[in-house]
A and B are shown apart, each in its own frame.
Chain A
Amino acid sequence: MIKVKGVLLSVLISCLLFYCLDCYWSNWLEKQNSEKQIWIMNKENKRYNIAFLGASRVYTCIDVGLIEKILKIKAINLGCDGSSLMENYVVLSQFLKHGNKINKLYLQLDQTALSNMKKALSYPFHDYLFLNKLKEEEVKEAFIEDKGCLKYYFWRYIPLSKYAEFNHFYTLNFLEPKSQSKDSGFDKNSGSKLIVMDMPDSLLAKVKSGIFRQDTFVCDEKSKYYIDKIIKLCKSNGIKYDFFKMPIYNDSYIQFHSNHEMTTFLHEYARKNDCRFIDFQGLALASNKDYFKDYSHLNASGAKLFTPILSDSIGKINR
């Protein structure tokens, strides 16, 4: 009996400790504004004329600060590195839940965004950044979709288990070498992160040799499902929306033989949803390697050149 009491006491102390540590990490996570997703979700009661939503092609290739200067409006970059439409939806819904308002949303759609997210992206849903929001309905749905029911409930009800699984992110500060900085380096006003980098010759050679060839276009059902959810969210919050496609380096773009099918699909999809689809692929800058850091991302000088063009389009549409 004494042994059982001892064990029960140990279990109780463990649970209490786990619960305290769970609270500590939840609290810590909320303060990690250096992570783009957290930065977006921590915004409260802000008003923006326009917002850009998408993955890295939005995050690193649009200078939203420059758009604000040109159009004299308030804008925000909601793009997150390597994110899927599912993650974009979760971030947007959390952003709106915190009393933020947007007049118009520009959603970036392309081959990668419309493909099967698990195949197209290495880590389509950055689950470790949403662990303190497991109770939220949108987050719950995304977690169950990504990790399954069993794991979701395990993480939700066993304190600390969710943070233990990602302890490579939840590291103890005092053990971290001082030289290692965790800052993602994006502009904390606009949310954009421009990258000063030229396309490496090795990558250029790969592009020329045609490794990016893709012949068929199929819009993944899950991607479609999340585009519809984003549209529904916009409608329920009185947000106008348009689709657009960022330019990718022409030499690689022409290797996607299904481009015509994709753009036709997006024009048709936009028409069905009463919005526009603006394709920026035809721009002259798409043929110049000096404006790209890799085959699908503009570098800082590319972004500086592209942003006024984007502003011009936005200005004309909203005039």
Chain B
Amino acid sequence: MLFNTFNFFVFFVVFFICWMLFPAKFKWVSLLIGSVYFYCVASSILILVPIIICLITYICSLQMDKLKVNDVLFGAIVFIIVGFLLYYKYLNSFIDFVSLSTLSRFSVVAVPIGISYFTFQSIGYLIDIKNNHIAVERNILKLFLYLIFFTKIIAGPVERAGDFLSQINQPSKFSYNNFSVGIKLILLGLFKKIVLGDRLNLLISPAFADLTSNEGMPIIVASFIFPLQLYMDFSGYTDMARGFSKILAINLTENFNSPFSSTTLTEFWRRWHISLSSWFNEYVFKSLTISTRNWNQFGLFISLVITFTIIGVWHGPTMGYLIYGVLIGLIVFLETFSKKSRKKIAKKMNEKAIKMIGHAYFCLIIVFLFLFIKTETLPSYVNVVKSIVKVELVKDTKDTFNHFVHGYQFSTNKLNTYTYVGNLLNNYNTRVILIAFFFLLLLNNSKSNEFSLLNRLKKITIVRHSGYIVLLLLIMQFGLFHNTNEFLYFKF
């Protein structure tokens, strides 16, 4: 049941009515029933996996509350929980990798939805208990709700136990404010996902589908569009998740903070998938830096590379993702290492120029890194990069000049390149996307200048409401409802 489907719409409407009927003190029970139903529809019997993980987490947390658990024992508990993740997420790939026929009976392991998210949350909860950051939750059903709450189970955000449990432990009731904010977030998310994300996908899929005939410019254009598609898709999903939760009086963490305004990769990771990166920062990176504190810069290097490698491999057990993680670790280390010298140079230069160079550097880096997410495996990545480097800027410019000035014919490949780029400009989807981006900018520029005309207009209720009516109309007219696409981050 995807958020952008009719089935989910019906489910949520029915569920919301039921939620309203529950008394404030027991609203969490309705959330639990809804979440269990949602999980069973998506993964049926595999709900046993989060149940078992919840039982392990619950028992361990109670024991940790009574006795002091040493690091070895705690490590063993975490290893057991991580074991579930490794088994379900990586066994199939491992069998494919080693090609063991004797293991082939395991090769059809179905993956429970959201396994990464509930295992991370369970580990985070246990670490917080161990460090006395939060109190033990004695109601196992509430703990289970924390792990499988339906709006965040599939692709996050990765919630902190303290934040979530404190909300469900309070009596909650319907509030107009929550409802209104929730609806706005849902509309915005839907707009990002089905108007922008899915339509961007229509533009870039043909280029990636046939690398040989699209080599050069088409692949370059598609590679630059892909990060935007991924952002629209993922942040759209998160906005919807937050919106549905908000209506049910639950606040979920913001997952994005204008990530593409970054000038360095380090800054990007503070703005992109915030809940996951802060989870890794808190529970992996900090522990590693403490362990390696005597190694100075090398310690930092090791901690960064290990943390980002785990994040990379979390996307999938392929060499491509491994290299993706290692590269991020390496670049973030180099950025940290060169911070002081960069600041010195920046002082001597124009601030705007520095920012522009920063953006250009970041753009190139992110395009080449996100290609790992698009291609998934190393051989496909290499093929795409090969197609990109086949662009011959000088020769292309000369050919174009000769074509238009002297009437020379293009070669088949060049013709293909220009057909793709030409089609891209003369395309219904491109025009829709441009209108949609313009509207999104109007909606989102409130942070830029509090006293701008647009922001002052937005304070007028009727203008604000009209904006949301237009948003709804744009979704109805331009959203891709037919043959709905999965959210890109579901597979992780």
Q: Which residues of A are at the interface with B, using a C-beta cutoff of 8 A?
A: 3-4, 6-7, 9-10, 13-14, 17-18, 21, 150-151, 154, 160-161, 163-168, 170-172, 175-177, 179-180
Contacts and interface: CB of A to CB of B under 8 A. Distances in A.
Contacts of B176: 3-4
B469 interface: yes
A164 B428 contact: no
A177 B423 CA distance: 10
A6 B464 CA distance: 11
Interface of B: 6, 10, 176, 180, 426-428, 431-432, 435, 461-462, 465, 468-469, 472-473, 475-482
A14 to B, nearest CB: 5
B13 to A, nearest CB: 11
A6 to B, nearest CB: 5
Given A9-B465, A167-B479, 20 more contacts: A3-B180, A6-B461, A6-B462, A7-B180, A13-B469, A14-B469, A17-B469, A151-B6, A160-B476, A164-B475, A164-B477, A164-B481, A167-B477, A168-B480, A168-B482, A170-B477, A171-B428, A176-B428, A177-B426, A177-B427
Contact of A154 (B6, B426, B428): B6
Given A3-B176, A177-B427, A165 B481 contact: yes
Contact of A167 (B6, B472, B478): B478
Nearest to A147: B6
A160 B490 CA distance: 30
Given A6-B465, A179-B426, A164 B431 contact: no
Nearest to B429: A175
B419 to A, nearest CB: 12
Contact of B432 (A6, A7, A175): A175
Nearest to B179: A7
Nearest to B427: A177
B476 A175 contact: no
Contacts, number: 57
Contacts of B481: 164-167
A187 to B, nearest CB: 28
Contacts of B475: 164
10 contacts: A6-B462, A7-B465, A9-B465, A10-B468, A13-B469, A154-B6, A167-B481, A171-B428, A175-B431, A175-B435
B307 to A, nearest CB: 43
Q: Which 10 A-B pairs have the closest CB atoms?
A: A164-B476, A10-B465, A165-B481, A175-B431, A177-B426, A6-B461, A14-B469, A160-B476, A175-B428, A167-B477
B428 A177 contact: yes
A25 to B, nearest CB: 10
Nearest to A9: B465
A180 B482 CA distance: 21
B472 A14 contact: yes
Given A7-B180, A14-B469, A167 B428 contact: no
Q: Is the interface of B mostly helix, strand, loop or mixed?
A: helix
B132 to A, nearest CB: 43
Contacts of A154: 6
A166 B478 CA distance: 10
Contacts of A180: 428
A177 to B, nearest CB: 5
Contacts of A177: 426-428
Most buried by B among A10, A150, A160: A10
B193 to A, nearest CB: 15
Most buried by B among A17, A161, A166, A167: A167
A4 B180 CA distance: 10
Contacts of A166: 481-482
Nearest to B434: A175
Contacts of B427: 177
Contacts of B468: 10
A179 B422 CA distance: 12
Contacts of B431: 175
Nearest to B469: A14
Contacts of B482: 165-168
Nearest to B470: A17
A106 B479 CA distance: 42
A163 B482 CA distance: 11
Contacts of B426: 177, 179
A13 B472 CA distance: 12
Contacts of B479: 164, 167
Nearest to A10: B465
Contact of A17 (B461, B473, B478): B473
Most buried by A among B176, B432, B476, B480: B476
A10 B476 contact: no
A208 to B, nearest CB: 27
A67 to B, nearest CB: 37
A24 to B, nearest CB: 11
Nearest to A178: B426
Contacts of B462: 6
Contacts of A3: 176, 180
A13 B473 CA distance: 12
Contacts of B478: 167
Given A175-B431, A179-B426, A167 B476 contact: yes
A33 B479 CA distance: 26
B469 A172 contact: no
Contacts of A164: 475-477, 479, 481
B201 to A, nearest CB: 14
Contacts of A165: 481-482
A177 B228 CA distance: 24
A13 B432 CA distance: 24
A150 B469 contact: no
